[in-house]
Amino acid sequence: MTSFHDFGLVEPITRALAEEKYVAPTPIQTQTIPAVLSRRDVIGIAQTGTGKTAAFALPILHHLVTNRRRPEHKTCRTLVLSPTRELSSQIVDSFRAYGRHVRISSALVIGGVSMGAQVRALQNGVDVLVATPGRLLDLVTSNALRLGQVEFLVLDEADRMLDMGFIHDIRKIVAKLPAQRQTLMFSATMPRAITELADQMLRNPAKVAVTPVASTVDSVEQRIFLVDRADKPAMLAEILQGESIDRALVFTRTKHGADKVVRGLIKAGITAHAIHGNKSQNQRERVLAAFRNGHVRTLVATDIAARGIDVVGISHVVNFDLPNVPETYVHRIGRTARAGAAGVAISLCDSEEAAYLRDIEKLIRMSVPATDRRSSPRQAQPSTMQHRLTRPPADAARNQRQRGRGNAPRKQGRPQQPRKAPSGINAVPFLHRNAQLGHNTQSRRREHGNPKNSVQ
C-alpha cells in the first residue's frame, strides 16, 4: 500500500489525511488498516511514534461512518483504553483530526479532573470514548456510562497498563462488554501476561508488528551532559563548535527560551535562527530555506514549531531543555538518523530536569551515557529521595492499592503527566540511574519508530 486511497477508506477521511499532510501509510498502518476494515481482531506490537493511533482510528472511523447509528444515551460505540491522561488526550485529538469531516461524537474520560463535565459529555452517548481505566470504571459504577453497546474495543499500550497495575480494572471493564465486538490490542512489548490477556480477549486476531527494534532510538547516538543551569548556553556553544555538524536542531521548551538561546549563540559567534509560533510565516519560510540549503546550520525550535520542519540531513539534535513528556524526547531525537543515516542526540540536563531524564530512560528502557559537567557534582543522596526514586511509579500505585486503598480515586500513573522535577542539585543520583530503573536496561530495551511529528 503506497497511498491511503488504496485502503478504500471513505473520502472525508482521506481528505482529512491529506490535510494532515500524511502522504503514505506507515508500516503499522499498512498492516493494521486492512485487517480492521475486514472486521478482524488485531494484536499489534508497536510503539508510540509508529503511527499506531491512525492505524486503529482510521478503520474504526470508517466503520462508524459506513454503519452510522445514533449511540444510545450513556453508551459508546467505540471504547479506547490507554494508560495515561497524556496519551488518552492525544488519541482523542487524533480521532477528532481524522474525523473532522464526518460527524462523529467523541469524549475523553481521564482522572484528575472533575467528573461532572465527563458525565454530561456521556449523557447523549458518543461514537468514540477514550479513557483511562480507573476513571472509566468510576463512571460505570456511578451509572453515568453503560458498556453494553461497545462495538469496538482498543487496548492501547497494553504492557504499560499492566505495568501500572490496571489489569484488574481492565478485566472488570471487559467483563461488561458485549462478546460480539471487534477488539484491537497494541503493546510495545509482548510479555507472557499480555499474550494471556490477548488469548482471553481477542478472537483469532491478525498479528501485526513493526520491527523498529533497532530503529530510531537505537540508531541515534545519544549523550547527556549533566550541567548547571547557568552553564547551558556555554555548553551548547561548545558542543556546536566541537562537533562536526551538518545541521543541528536545538530544542527549547519555550519560545522565549528559543530566542534567548539564539542570542547567546550569536554572542558566541555561531550563526543560529529561532523558529517558533511568534515568527511570521515569511520569516519561518526564509529561515527554513536557509537551513535546508545549508546557509544556516543551527536552528532553535520549540516542539510545536518543529512539527512543521521537514528537513532531511539533520545530523544533530540538541535538547537545550529536556522535555517533561518523555515521548517528546523520542519524537525529538527521531528528527535525526532518518533513513539509516547516523544521528547524534545530545541533551543538557540540569538538576531540575533530573526526574524528566529518569522518565525518559524508563520509556526508552535504556540509560543514556552521561558526562558530568556540573561545577560540584555530588554523589551522596538523601535516603528519602533515594527511596522515592528507587521504586517505579507503577509499583508505587500498585502497593498503594494493596494497602487497602483500592476504592480511593485511582492514580493514573505519574510518569506520563507533565510534572515538576524535584529541585536541588542532588535530587537524583545520576551515577546510579540504572539501579533506580530497577531492571536490566539492556535486556528490556524498547524500540521506537520514526515519528514524523513531535507532540506537545
Establish if 56 lies at the interface with ligand AMP (CB under 6 A): no
Which is nearer to ligand AMP, 53 or 381 (by Cβ)? 53
Amino acid identity, residue 133? P
Contacting ligand AMP (CB under 6 A), which of 14, 26, 82, 298? 26
* Per rule CB under 6 A, count of chain residues that contact ligand AMP: 15
Point out which span in 50-58, 66-74, 386-394, 423-431 binds ligand AMP (CB under 6 A).
50-58
Establish if 48 lies at the interface with ligand AMP (CB under 6 A): yes
Query: Smallest gap, in angstroms, from Cβ of residue 26 to ligand AMP?
Result: 5
Tell me how crowded residue 211 is: count the other CB atoms within 10 A of its CB.
Answer: 11
Using DSSP, how many helices (H) and how many strands (E) does the chain show?
Answer: 19, 14
Rounded to an integer, what distance in angstroms lies between the CA atom of residue 93 and that of residue 80? Answer: 13
Point out which span in 276-284, 376-384, 419-427, 447-455 binds ligand AMP (CB under 6 A).
447-455
Q: In what order do the strands lie in the sheet containing 273-275?
A: 273-275, 298-301, 248-251, 316-319, 343-349, 220-226, 370-372
Tell me how crowded residue 114 is: count the other CB atoms within 10 A of its CB.
Answer: 7
Contacting ligand AMP (CB under 6 A), which of 14, 31, 41, 52? 52
Query: Smallest gap, in angstroms, from Cβ of residue 10 to ligand AMP?
Result: 17
- DSSP one-letter code for 256: H
Rounded to an integer, what distance in angstroms lies between the CA atom of residue 236 and that of residue 64? Answer: 50
Query: Smallest gap, in angstroms, from Cβ of residue 381 to ligand AMP?
Result: 35
As a residue count, the chain comes to: 456
Establish if 44 lies at the interface with ligand AMP (CB under 6 A): no
Cα-based angle 47, 86, 365 (whole degrees, multiple of 5): 40
Query: Smallest gap, in angstroms, from Cβ of residue 370 to ligand AMP?
Result: 27
Secondary structure of residue 130 in the 3-state scheme: strand
Establish if 334 lies at the interface with ligand AMP (CB under 6 A): no
Q: What CA–CA distances, in Å, run from 123 to 91, 103, 266, 308?
A: 21, 17, 56, 38
Query: Smallest gap, in angstroms, from Cβ of residue 232 to ligand AMP?
Result: 28
Point out which span in 47-55, 274-282, 382-390, 406-414 binds ligand AMP (CB under 6 A).
47-55
Establish if 109 lies at the interface with ligand AMP (CB under 6 A): no
**Cell triple for residue 215?**
530503529
> What is the CA 131 to chain-centroid distance, rounded?
16
CB-side neighbour CA atoms (13 Å) of 263: 6
Establish if 54 lies at the interface with ligand AMP (CB under 6 A): yes
Contacting ligand AMP (CB under 6 A), which of 197, 236, 451, 456? 451
Establish if 388 lies at the interface with ligand AMP (CB under 6 A): no
Establish if 30 lies at the interface with ligand AMP (CB under 6 A): no
Give the DSSP letter string of 230-256. GGHHHHHHHHHHHS--S-EEEE-SSHH
Point out which span in 44-52, 176-184, 268-276, 344-352 binds ligand AMP (CB under 6 A).
44-52
Contacting ligand AMP (CB under 6 A), which of 14, 50, 183, 412? 50
* 263 phi and psi angles, rounded to 5 deg: -60, -45
Which is nearer to ligand AMP, 51 or 205 (by Cβ)? 51
Rounded to an integer, what distance in angstroms lies between the CA atom of residue 427 and that of residue 417? Answer: 19
Query: Smallest gap, in angstroms, from Cβ of residue 385 to ligand AMP?
Result: 33
**Cell triple for residue 21?**
499532510
Which is nearer to ligand AMP, 32 or 50 (by Cβ)? 50
Establish if 99 lies at the interface with ligand AMP (CB under 6 A): no
Are 412 and 112 contacting, i.e. CB atoms less than 8 angstroms apart? yes
Establish if 82 lies at the interface with ligand AMP (CB under 6 A): no
Query: Smallest gap, in angstroms, from Cβ of residue 19 to ligand AMP?
Result: 12
Contacts with ligand AMP, residue ranges (CB under 6 A)? 22, 25-26, 29, 48-54, 451-453, 455
